[in-house]
Amino acid sequence: MRKGMKKNSGYSKAVFADSLVTSCEICNGLCALDIRLRGKKIIKVKGREEHAVSRGYICPKGLAVDEIVGAPDRIRTPLAKNRGGRWQEVTPAEAIKIIAERFNFIKAKYGAEALAVHVGRAGINKEFKYYLKRFCAAFGTPNFSTAESHCHLSKKMAGEITYGGLPVPDFAHSRCIVLWGSNPAASCPQLMRDIKQARGKGARLIVIDPREISTAKKSDLHLQIRPGTDGALALAMLHVLIKEKLFDKEFVEKWTIGFTELVALVDKFTPEKAESITWVPSEKIVEAARLYAGNSPACISIGIALELQTNGFQTARAISIMQAVCGNLDISGGVLFTPAPKLSSLKMEKDEAFSKPAVGQEKYPLFFKYNGNAQANMFARAILEGKPYPLKAMLLAGSNPVLTWPNAERVKKAFSSLDFLVVTENFMTETAKLADVVFPVGTFLSRDEFCDFSGLNGLPRLSLSPKIIDEPLMTDWEFCRNLAVEMGLEQFFPWRDEVEALNYRLEPLGINLDTLRHSLDHGYEYKKTEEKKYLKSGFQTESGKVEIYSKELERHGYDPLPVYHEPAESPVSTPELFREYPLILTSGARTLPYMHSRFHNIPSLRKLEPEPELEVHPHTASNLGIEDGELVLLESPRGRINIKVRITEDILPGVIAIPHGWDEANANVLTDDEALDPVSGFPPDRSYLGRIAPRCKFCGESEAGNNLPSPR
Ligand code: SF4
């Protein structure tokens, strides 16, 4: 290891009886784990009963951490491609030297902004994300981005613009829960305990989803909606609430602006009109509105499925407004505004002084305003077409864009044509295969990490997921700092190790890591829970009120009201394309065993879901003459994949659901990266058009081939 390259050693002192306590960092659930070690080997993992939030819950991914950490296919040595394009093992110091030299070369030749750094889902809510952003500022590039380019940020923007923040549903105390394009049983199962608790006390449950997911089967009302039309449904529900005077009149009068304009907007969105758009029977729309308004406090969970539509941002706005006019803001059982803990800023003055705007900043100014990052969905074009200027090098941390970004063929082509690509990872992914350097990093068990419960449960508590094993690998943070040191940027990274850096972040709270180590089961309560904070300080918007009519949107040339537009590809908006591609495709829904593209290589998880399967309704299958278990060729205007059919009544006729994250059948070969949401730049992964290729008239088989070029 080179001089100055620090490796944090030492274990957590958080030993309870015979187990080590930490928290799972795989998804947002942050479930507490009791882990027993023998020597360096994990011999037992279980959910920690004593933990105040997760209370013993653990999902199959958490149970599999021993397999993940000890997987035989973990990358354990950095790899660099030699001149012949072959992998060569190098030491960590050599790898960092190569990366530093190449990044500096790119900067000298093309300018600092030619480098982009992207942190994937594995780094969301993780400390190293903030340090990598700081690295970008120190290097001089504005092109830092995260998985928030296609997850979470769209609804966050809707919340910020409408009422100054994104509130969190308080499921446990609710009398009516709406899961709208949200499936916590698959995406964050820890939350199902709160939902079951509320149901046990009589709470009503409404599920809005094109698929009859397991939670829908147990709900009071399931609205099986045509993908991409949720905005029309929201406006029709608002129509009913207003027509039947089911809204909170006092709140609306005192705390909103633009209600009159809303009344005019929704006037024509009758449930009958919405039925023709959404395929949801009008009486169910009326019932949903009455259930929601009649069982206060009520909460709505806005899922990522709503964000991944061409009208996703305005849909999230319409639902945000519904929560407001029914008086469900910042109350127990409604949705809560819980501030995140105030930690030391890692921002530098340089953040404001880049010579060029970030990629996507000019096209999506509000996206940039509300997260300060580049829009990663624009990177492939910047690389291939030089728009708005060329990107020549990238660092991807915990991200696998070839499987997770829209239009995978373009993404692959773009990354293959970069001058230099670095990937930090645990495993050799489809994207890492394209890299010039693959740098292996430790798992979350080998580093201290904060657990912030404000964004998930609305609890103002900060806890710690302590390091419990020592892996002979750098953590992501160590990689970042060591690279900065090698590049002569040490002055911007004065912390000697990760513990010092985390302690620096905790300074404004007046605590340190030891405080958190001593409250692993309850976390540190940095604020008292308080409802209806707006009564004291108003809403954090320009007007101090809920902005149903948004002047900010108007100034940026967007519709100030939550209008509905058809999906960019649909039977209505593109009838000619629909004649060619007569199926509505929806892709990207999470499943319990996997985290997007991660962990398909873990045997116990693979056993739960061995292969990708297309969900097809029996009527659709019969119309197309396809059978259960058949391998078909699925095409969209972007590309085609081979995938096995599973016939199920759980999906709407005419709609096909495709799992994502599989390299064997990459759904993102089919998805679109051109018709993005005009405000957020999010891709429409949940609603686009496709077809199943006809069988060959001679042999009766579908055409063969995987990830073939575009049929158009
Ligand atoms: S739900 Fe599963 S993956 Fe998510 S934090 Fe809990 S154990 Fe980990």
Mean pLDDT of the 339-359 span: 87
> Based on the structure, what is the number of domains in the chain?
4
Residue 200 lies in a domain: yes
| Domain final position from 302, 320, 336 | 336
**Which residue lies with its CA nearest to atom 2 of ligand 1?**
59
Position 355 scores a pLDDT of 87
**Ligand 1 pocket mutation, candidates 22, 24, 449, criterion most atoms within 8 A of CB:** 24
Q: Give the integer Cα–Cα distance in Å for 231 and 243.
A: 18
User: Which residue's CA is minimally distant from atom 7 of ligand 1?
Assistant: 62
* Ligand 1 atom showing the smallest separation from residue 63 Cα: 7
- Does 511 fall in a domain? yes
Q: What is the pLDDT of residue 36?
A: 93
With CA atoms as reference, report the closest residue to 305 among 705, 690, 710, 655: 655
Residue 549 belongs to a domain: no
For residue 8, pLDDT beyond 80: no
Same domain, 657 and 583: yes
Give the model's pLDDT for residue 92.
98
* Count of alpha carbons within 13 angstroms of residue 424, beta-carbon side: 30
User: Does 443 share its domain with 380?
Assistant: yes
**CATH number of the structural domain spanning residue 632:** 2.40.40.20
Q: What value does the mean pLDDT take over residues 634-647?
A: 97
- 172 and 217 part of one domain: yes
Give yes or no: residues 436 and 502 share one domain. yes
Q: Which residues pair with 74 in a beta bridge?
A: 427
Q: What is the pLDDT of residues 181-206, one digit of tens each?
A: 999 999 999 999 999 999 999 999 99
* CA atoms of 481 and 484, how far apart (whole Å): 5
Probe residue for ligand 1, chosen from 67, 121, 190, 596 as the CB with the greatest number of ligand atoms within 8 Å: 190
Positive/negative CA dihedral, 61, 66, 71, 77:
positive
Q: How far is CA 210 from CA 310, 637, 666, 686, in A?
A: 17, 22, 21, 10
pLDDT above 80 (res 12): no
Q: Which residues line ligand 1 (CB under 6 A)?
A: 24, 26-27, 29-31, 58-59, 61-62, 189-190
Atom from ligand 1 closest to the CA of residue 26: 3
C-alpha distances out from residue 7 to 14, 68, 92, 424, Å: 20, 22, 11, 16
What per-residue confidence (pLDDT) applies to 284? 98
Residue 263 sits in which domain range?
A: 153-336
Q: Are 381 and 296 found together in one domain? A: no
> How far is the centre of ligand 1, averaged over its atoms, from the C-alpha of 28 (Å)?
7
pLDDT digits (tens, 9 = 90+) for 595-610: 999 999 999 999 999 9
In the predicted model, is pLDDT for residue 123 greater than 90?
Answer: no
Whether residue 138 is found in the same domain as residue 188: no
The confidence band for 705, taking pLDDT boundaries of 50, 70 and 90, is very low
Query: What is the pLDDT, as a whole number, of residue 353?
Result: 75
- Residue 652 CA to residue 211 CA, distance in Å, equals 7
Whether residue 551 lies inside any domain: the answer is no
What CATH number corresponds to the domain at position 117? 3.40.50.740
Is residue 103 domain-resident?
yes
Is 289 found in the same domain as 192? yes
Are 506 and 630 within one domain?
Answer: no
Backbone angles phi, psi at 66, to 5 degrees: -65, -40
Give the pLDDT confidence of 444-466 residue by residue, as tens digits: 999 999 999 999 889 999 999 99
Instruction: Give 34 Cα–ligand 1 centroid separation in angstroms.
Output: 13
Residue 442's pLDDT band (cuts 50, 70, 90):
very high
Q: What is the mean pLDDT of residues 456-481?
A: 95
Give 105-116 pLDDT, tens digit per residue.
Answer: 999 999 999 999
**In the structure, what pLDDT confidence band is assigned to residue 702 with cuts at 50, 70 and 90?**
low
Helix ranges, 203-270 (H)? 214-217, 230-243, 249-255, 259-267
Mean pLDDT of 302-318: 97
Same domain, yes or no: 157 and 142: no
